[in-house]
A and B are shown apart, each in its own frame.
Chain A
Amino acid sequence: MIYDIKDKSDGRNAIFEFLCNRKFKSVVDVGGGLNIWASPYVTHCIDINQPKKYECKFLKADISTQRDWDNIRSIVAFTGKFDFSICTHVLEDIANPSLVLQMLPQISHMGFVSFPSKHAEICRGIECGTPEDQAAWGIGGGKYRGYFHHRWILTILDYKLRLFPKLNFIEYINGLEWATRENKDAHFHELSFWWKDDIPFEIFNDDFMGPDGGTYMKAWRTEIIKGY
């Protein structure tokens, strides 16, 4: 289940406090090899990139492939599940986050997941916001939405994680004006949650891009506004 959803405050402070108090034996960071931000408490890292600045046990794996997860699961079958997992700012980057979401509860008892809020991912100009940047980066036609390399927009509705593919048509659909950098109610940094036992999630429209463009886009626009 998903609990303790945070869309404003920095959820990471709570992680430090929690991990400090609980003194877990095994804490794994999934996909954070380039920046083990909870390094004092992280004992293992699962990633394709080996952490350089911090000594923890490195389990090399491409988290987008089932075979590599099978290897991790065989280790876990021998050692037992990790006490806690951290997966921050990873899901939005990869082609198949549903695999990671299925695997996390199979390798750890509970965990913390974070990603950019939908406000950050849909507003324009959070990256490449100035005409000078756009000229230097070879970008024309105005500011694009969110972060250029993110493939998914994630929301939470009724304690279920929802994944929306971030496709190119979103540059032009109407009805997303609520996501602006000027909106004082928008929360630009991240959305985070804790989970225990399992992570309920769905890909919008069961990942079916139909039945036609108009219907799909209308539903996409209507559904993404819901929840966090």
Chain B
Amino acid sequence: MITKAENKILLRDECLSFIKSKRYKRVLDVGGALYPWARDVVSHYLDINDPKEVCGPEFHCSQFLSSTFIEGDICRQETWDRMQKFDPFDFVICSQTLEDIRDPTVALRNLSKIAKQGFITVPVKYRELSFVEIRSVEIQNEWQLKSPYRGYFHHRWIFTIDDGKLYLFPKLNFVEHIQGLENVLDQSDNGCQELAFFWEDSIPFEIVNDDFLGPNPPSVFGYYRDLLEKGL
């Protein structure tokens, strides 16, 4: 279950304090090898990118201390089957990763099989639906764009938490055209930073409408509009 969720304050410090207070020795960071903000407490990294190869051995030595790197594609079940052969982890962190990958449900189903509790962060929906990335006409021209787009170009999912459950919305091209998202964006100046939550035992989640983008376009656009307004 989701035990605490926030979108207005950064919970990362609280996460680090919690792990330190519990003196956890086996802490896994999933997908965070290239931005290892929790390196003080992380013992293992699971990522598709080996930071040693991407950033060079110097970066690896200074940033990762004695942590263990495990290479794996977290969209593939076989990666998680392999992870279950490790001793259980005390805690697992997955930060700003799920929105990037083609199928986050594989990770969401499997995180609770390798640890009893954890911490997840994703971008807030307000940023993902507003025009945050193309900040100047120069960048727009350099990237050969006619107009800015919503959110971050490489993010494939938008998230909300409502009634103790994480909801995933595929971020497809039609979101550029749906009318009525202004109601969501009206809240964008409320100091939202990232959507973060702690979980224990399991992670309740659902892809919107059971991942069925139907029965027809207007109804899909309608429930995107309605459901994105709800929750965090």
Contact = CB atoms under 8 A, between A and B. Distances in A.
B51 to A, nearest CB: 14
B133 interface: yes
A168 B151 contact: yes
Contact of A168 (B76, B100, B171, B211): B171
Interface in A93-136: 93, 95-96, 98-99, 127-128, 136
Interface residues of A, number: 46
A148 interface: yes
Nearest to A94: B211
Contacts of A12: none
Interface in A154-190: 165-175
Given A165-B102, A173-B145, A139 B221 contact: yes
A141 B100 CA distance: 26
A203 B156 CA distance: 15
Given A166-B172, A221-B144, A216 B154 contact: yes
Contact of B173 (A66, A138, A145): A145
Nearest to B109: A65
Given A169-B153, A171-B176, A173-B145, A66 B213 contact: no
A78 interface: no
Interface string A40-60: 000000000000000000000
B153 A217 contact: yes
Contacts of A209: 100, 153-154
A67 interface: yes
A168 B181 CA distance: 15
Interface residues of B, number: 44
Contacts of B170: 95, 151
B148, B175, B218, B225: residue with the most chain A Cβ atoms closer than 10 Å: B218
Given A138-B180, A140-B177, A141-B176, A172 B147 contact: yes
B231 to A, nearest CB: 21
B191 interface: no
A169 B173 CA distance: 7
Nearest to A148: B174
B218 A138 contact: yes
A98 B148 CA distance: 30
Nearest to B103: A96
A213 B154 contact: yes
B173 A144 contact: yes
B148 A172 contact: yes
A128 B151 CA distance: 24
Interface string B139-160: 1001111111111011010000
B176 A138 contact: no
Given A66-B78, A139-B221, A218 B177 contact: no
A127, A149, A170: residue with the most chain B Cβ atoms closer than 10 Å: A149
Contacts of A210: 154
B77 interface: yes
Contact of B145 (A146, A148, A166, A174): A174
B151 A96 contact: no
Given A137-B217, A142-B177, A167-B156, 15 more contacts: A64-B103, A66-B76, A67-B77, A95-B102, A140-B177, A141-B176, A148-B172, A149-B213, A169-B149, A171-B177, A172-B147, A172-B149, A173-B143, A174-B145, A217-B144
26 contacts: A64-B103, A64-B211, A66-B78, A67-B77, A95-B105, A95-B211, A96-B75, A99-B103, A127-B217, A137-B218, A139-B177, A139-B179, A139-B221, A141-B177, A144-B174, A148-B174, A149-B217, A151-B170, A165-B156, A168-B172, A169-B149, A171-B173, A172-B149, A173-B144, A173-B145, A214-B142
